[in-house]
Structure 1
């Protein structure tokens, strides 16, 4: 069976798993009182979401994991690396979410605690992939074509890329359906690129991740019945960067995943300018999706525009990649 069909099957298995399992998972979260606590400094319109079940990232990861187990049994292909990366960062998010729901507060792990765990994971990923002959230290260049071997610079580059992407996707998860939709759209680039490169493991994993995100959207679109929480957003970030590394297309995250980049940059700019200017702000609120909310855009409009922006970025990534 061809790589295209196997990728589609991985997509369908994951999609159906999440679509079918989530309605049975929701009552469990409600019984456990795993409801989202909304931060007081956020948009006031979000206060009505308080108590919405969270940690839906468990079913997203479950869908991808189930799909990959099925596909590994069927094909014999090893898809362990992206699965382990997804589960590792998903576990960090799970601990963060569990502390939040236990304390009934929006503060989970301290920032330094999350960073220490992320740094540890990023260091292991950089070391493993750089020394892995199937991946190595060479990357595809978006401009000029060909590949460049970063040599020893690969390790700090990958370390930074992993931490940056995981946190960028995490920051994007602030509106109903935003992170799941943007991830599904952005990952289409890596899925098709992996198929073109005839790399079965990242192709199947990408298909499964897209399927899980779209299956989850049924319950996460506005008004959301379930939030993915950091359990989901950090897992998605781990999945995105893992596939980018496996396909050696890390630079293309800047294009295909530009919405994630924009979200993260808005926070960096806001915090930096706030400190340098003595309390002034560039945006009404960061990440930037909240800026548009406070300008009067409806949540659905913001999410739709960001989905379209993600699709345009993917189209641009394809143009650059083909050229």
Structure 2
């Protein structure tokens, strides 16, 4: 397999996103699919009100088309793993689209309620697990950097649900600043692409991950500060589910916690804030998720975003090192 194939995969996804965005963004504006900004959020965000959201549709289309084109061209078929990746990408993307639609069209700022969203995520996760089970998928979980493996048996189904639901929500929480999620997600998927090729050889997962990287880099052209479009829950839920699916299929489930370290930290900041406020009435952070805390401390949006990108790169390198070192 030539490395040129990898570059072509990134390029195709990048170009699809860049080419459809100038058509899609004005279309979203005409439909008045503009983002509503929470009043309790940073005051600097109020000027973003009305910026088109649901841009995640462009990312999903780009990833699906580019990965299918390249993988079918290279392998001549679509295996169950690619089918599962597309199931999660499209399924979680549809769930996010419904959430965004309720927010921007029905003007209910919170979108789907937590029970509706959780039920949809669990249903997709259960389908994902049963397809794995039909293909005799390994139910052991390895601890990165060690020879320790745990056979989870039937509990692996619960583990899968927790991973998919948890990752989709963690990635969703990270989507709060221009370019923040697109950049950190591209870094994380890039790390998994490297591991899918050099660490745990899997061509389809390599190409899919690179398609995500290309699609996100193309989206950044329009999402970097000042953003012309937001991905919304349509994109963030889809990306969160997809990165968990990639980690599961590569049997690098635990490594997701390291490579996706930014997403973990953002989620922990919310959990800590809620527990602290409910138990003591005091806030640990000025605002959660964590990226808003630094904004309210006076950091510029671009400084927060680039710092989180750098942290994401460090986590990605650490994850790659641990996995490659353990082989």
| Fold-level similarity (TM above 0.5) | yes
Structure 1 moving runs of 4+ over 4 Å: none
Partner of 2:142: 140
Instruction: Please give the per-residue CA displacement for 1:183-231, whole angstroms capped at 9, x wherever unaligned.
Output: 0001111101111222111111100001111100000000000000000
Contact 1:17–1:63 (Cα < 8 Å) also in 2: yes
Partner of 1:280: 282
The 1:130–1:6 alpha-carbon spacing in structure 2 relative to 1, beyond 3 Å, is farther
Aligned counterpart in structure 1 of residue 242 of structure 2, from 239, 242, 255: 239
C-alpha separation between the residues in 2 aligned to 1:198 and 1:73? 18
- CA shift for structure 1 position 152: 2.0
Contact 1:118–1:163 (Cα < 8 Å) also in 2: yes
Contact 2:84–2:128 (Cα < 8 Å) also in 1: no
C-alpha separation between the residues in 1 aligned to 2:176 and 2:133? 33
Q: Which moved more, 1:90-99 or 1:121-130?
A: 121-130
Contact 2:33–2:52 (Cα < 8 Å) also in 1: yes
Aligned counterpart in structure 2 of residue 309 of structure 1, from 311, 318, 321: 311
Where does the alignment leave 5 or more consecutive residues of structure 1 unmatched? none
C-alpha separation between the residues in 1 aligned to 2:138 and 2:4? 28
The 1:72–1:320 alpha-carbon spacing in structure 2 relative to 1, beyond 3 Å, is closer
Give the superposed CA RMSD: 1.4
- CA shift for structure 1 position 105: 4.3
Contact 2:273–2:284 (Cα < 8 Å) also in 1: yes
Contact 2:269–2:289 (Cα < 8 Å) also in 1: yes
- CA shift for structure 1 position 7: 3.1
Give the match's secondary structure for 2:124: helix
Aligned counterpart in structure 1 of residue 127 of structure 2, from 124, 128, 141: 124
1:1-323 pair list within 5 angstroms = 1-2=1-2, 4-75=3-74, 76-78=76-78, 79-133=82-136, 135-145=137-147, 147-196=149-198, 197-277=200-280, 279-323=281-325
Instruction: Please give the per-residue CA displacement for 1:170-195, whole angstroms capped at 9, x wherever unaligned.
Output: 00000000011000001111101111
Give the match's secondary structure for 2:254: helix
The TM-score, its normalising length taken from structure 2, stands at 0.94
C-alpha separation between the residues in 2 aligned to 1:221 and 1:200? 30
- CA shift for structure 1 position 250: 1.0
Between the two proteins, the alignment pairs up a number of residues equal to 320
- CA shift for structure 1 position 130: 4.0
C-alpha separation between the residues in 2 aligned to 1:146 and 1:132? 24
Contact 1:90–1:231 (Cα < 8 Å) also in 2: yes
Where does the alignment leave 5 or more consecutive residues of structure 2 unmatched? none
Contact 1:209–1:239 (Cα < 8 Å) also in 2: no
C-alpha separation between the residues in 1 aligned to 2:10 and 2:132? 25
Contact 1:168–1:260 (Cα < 8 Å) also in 2: yes
- CA shift for structure 1 position 146: 5.9
C-alpha separation between the residues in 2 aligned to 1:158 and 1:276? 31
- CA shift for structure 1 position 107: 2.0
Instruction: Please give the per-residue CA displacement for 1:256-281, whole angstroms capped at 9, x wherever unaligned.
Output: 1100000111111111111111x211
